[in-house]
């Protein structure tokens, strides 16, 4: 009697039909790619020539010391010899300790076959040894820090691309699925790749989430509110209260304009905006425009005038309150630091406290983004965006994805194209893929004056509205939130602000990174945070004296902001004041998507 439940491979006729259909679609995708390449000016971020040149310089310097090079190669061969010996012992049935193991946060080798099957274990360890050796050689080579940083970045991109997990024959999970489905997973993967090329208009745009499952205002960015003011650069959203009384002083949130504000309002369960409203705060949020060539001449100064300063005027009309508290996130925090210094210089006291989320003011040690900033690369970037009027959103998205390439590139290459699966619906990755453009004048100023020349920390180094500014004149209370594993605004670099501001200063370090460490609601019971009432000169000294607390930092901030929020008044609803409602939150500006 036949077993009718046995697994049957795909119908060969149907498979042939599918392949023919994909060949036709592939031809169309190829035509799109050729057309896109013909229209492309060749500009890329990061500049592959600059990274490759830095790596070559490192290797030339490394090879200039033949004794050191020989010693390094001997060390590598010693490790590989130990690996061969261990593998031989395993094949004889012995229990042996691995020569090398993946880092705890490396999720590429979680399939049990990487440990249980000797061949895959050998491939894994051989790869990890080679990777470790190459990165160590780059880090220990005597070159200037900028060249070393670029060389290491290039080397990491190189070895991550060559990981065995990225190849069908070397990935045990992919091999199992390929054999079980007679290759149908690879057919689906090709279909996914063709769809991504179409989605990218001829460029491969790797899908990270099922974007069709999300709609702004429907299941992300859903906190009830109204747009009550707008100008060329931003819409101002006022959120509906959820408590009968609220603190007198409103709260203004100035998010980054690299990506969009709704990172703070993804879902009700993890929305910082909704939570802040529930604490009795009247919350206003700046929703920046996604600019095009028409805003090419907008400057960093314009972002101050049409951003937080315009918001303050609007908030007074909406609530009758002249003073407010403010939060600045990432580049929004850098803008707020400059704005507060400008206000201090002009005698404007309308902000009574400032909170900074993962924001840099001293860019001397500004993390991996420094890889992309030097005089040569910056001139090339300036020429590109000055001609176009803006930096395309895909370039900034590419930069941030490459900084976490295993998580944000290669894991999806494996999932989508080798395993032939659709990515899961994930709100954070939907937001991550919602790229924004950068106006030419603003972006040129920001990169040159902050990242390249680090002028914001100089007294009078930057002028706003013809006023030289100095961060040392900022004397209001400050709450600085940084995150332990931040690759965009390293926490030790953000701590430099503790030695600049003159007012009461509270530095708090959260676990996790640039996003997860900030968007960490108390209900999640994840991560931890550190506090220290003292602000010693160095971050190492601060951490040595810090106390660790489990869970979210949000309640700590709530206690702090309550001391600066004033007494309680009757809750205000959008439209109650002198500003009429323009439209429902999240507004129309945030819905403009970058298609270039």
Q: Which of 123, 330, 440, 442 is catalytic?
A: 330
CA distances from 160 to 189, 298, 398 (A): 20, 38, 15
Q: What are phi and psi of 581, to 5 degrees?
A: -70, 130
How far is residue 226's CA from residue 223's CA, in Å, rounded to a whole number? Answer: 10
E strands along 371-483, which residues?
A: 390-391, 438-439, 462-464, 467-469, 478-483
Reply yes or no on whether 528 is catalytic.
Answer: no
- The H-assigned helical ranges of 40-65 are 48-63
CA-atom Rg of the chain in angstroms? 27
Structural tokens at position 313:
């005027």
> Does residue 412 contact residue 208 with C-beta atoms inside 8 Å?
yes
How far is residue 304's CA from residue 350's CA, in Å, rounded to a whole number? Answer: 14
> Does residue 587 contact residue 217 with C-beta atoms inside 8 Å?
no
Structural tokens at position 552:
């979210």
Structural tokens at position 139:
């880090």
Structural tokens at position 298:
């907008």
The helix or strand, by DSSP H or E, that contains position 126, with its residue range, turns out to be helix 118-140
> Does residue 320 contact residue 577 with C-beta atoms inside 8 Å?
yes
> Does residue 293 contact residue 437 with C-beta atoms inside 8 Å?
no
Catalytically annotated residues: 330
């Amino acid at each position: 009697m036949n077993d009718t439940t046995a697994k049957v491979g795909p119908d060969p006729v149907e498979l042939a039909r599918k392949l023919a259909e994909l060949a036709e679609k592939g031809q169309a995708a190829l035509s799109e790619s050729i057309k896109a390449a013909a229209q492309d000016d060749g500009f890329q971020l990061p500049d592959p020539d600059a990274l490759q040149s830095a790596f070559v310089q490192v290797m030339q310097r490394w090879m200039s010391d033949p004794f050191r090079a020989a010693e390094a190669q001997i060390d590598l061969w010693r490790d590989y010899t130990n690996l061969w010996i261990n593998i031989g012992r395993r094949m004889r049935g012995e229990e042996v300790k691995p020569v090398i193991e993946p880092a705890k946060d490396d999720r590429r080798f979680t399939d049990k076959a990487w440990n249980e099957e000797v061949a895959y274990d050998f491939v894994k360890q051989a790869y990890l040894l080679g990777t470790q050796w190459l990165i160590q050689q780059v880090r220990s080579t005597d070159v200037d820090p900028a060249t070393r940083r670029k060389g290491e970045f290039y080397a990491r991109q190189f070895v991550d691309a060559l990981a065995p997990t990225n190849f069908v024959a070397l990935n045990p999970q992919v091999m199992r699925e390929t054999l079980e489905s007679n290759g149908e997973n690879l057919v689906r993967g090709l279909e996914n790749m063709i769809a991504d090329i179409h989605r990218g208009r001829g460029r491969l745009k790797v899908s990270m989430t099922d974007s069709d499952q999300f709609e702004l205002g429907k299941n992300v960015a859903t906190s009830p509110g109204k747009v009550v003011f707008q100008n060329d650069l931003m819409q101002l959203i006022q959120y509906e209260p959820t408590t009968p009384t609220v603190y007198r002083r409103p709260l203004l949130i100035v998010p980054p304009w690299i990506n969009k504000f709704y990172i703070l309002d993804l879902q009700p369960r993890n929305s910082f905006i909704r939570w802040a409203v529930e604490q009795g705060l009247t919350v206003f949020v700046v929703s920046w425009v996604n600019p095009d060539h028409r805003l090419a001449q907008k400057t960093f100064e314009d972002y101050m005038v049409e951003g937080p300063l315009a918001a303050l005027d609007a908030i007074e009309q909406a609530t009758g309150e002249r003073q407010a508290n403010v939060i600045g996130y990432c580049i929004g925090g850098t803008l707020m630091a400059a704005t507060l210094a400008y206000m201090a210089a002009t005698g404007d006291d309308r902000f009574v406290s400032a909170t900074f989320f993962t924001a840099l003011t001293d860019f001397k040690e500004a993390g991996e983004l420094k890889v992309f900033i030097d005089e040569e690369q910056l001139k090339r970037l300036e020429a590109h965006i000055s001609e176009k009027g803006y930096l395309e959103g895909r370039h900034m998205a590419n930069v941030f994805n490459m900084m976490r390439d295993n998580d944000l590139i290669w894991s999806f290459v494996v999932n989508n194209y080798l395993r032939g699966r659709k990515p899961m619906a994930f709100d954070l990755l939907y937001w991550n893929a919602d790229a924004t453009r950068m106006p030419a004048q603003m972006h040129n100023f920001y990169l040159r004056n902050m990242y390249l020349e680090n002028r914001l920390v100089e007294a009078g180094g930057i002028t706003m509205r013809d006023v030289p500014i100095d961060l040392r004149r900022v004397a209001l209370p400050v709450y600085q939130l940084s995150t332990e594993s931040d690759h965009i605004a390293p926490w030790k670099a953000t701590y430099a602000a503790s030695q600049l501001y003159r007012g009461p200063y509270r530095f708090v370090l959260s676990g996790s990174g640039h996003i997860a460490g900030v968007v960490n609601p108390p209900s999640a019971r994840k991560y931890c945070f550190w506090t220290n009432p003292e602000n010693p000169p160095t971050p190492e000294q601060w951490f040595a004296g810090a106390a660790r607390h489990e869970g979210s930092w949000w309640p700590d901030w709530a206690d702090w902001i309550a001391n600066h929020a004033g007494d309680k008044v009757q809750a205000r609803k959008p439209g109650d004041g002198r500003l009429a409602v323009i439209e429902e939150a999240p507004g129309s500006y945030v819905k403009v998507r970058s298609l270039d």
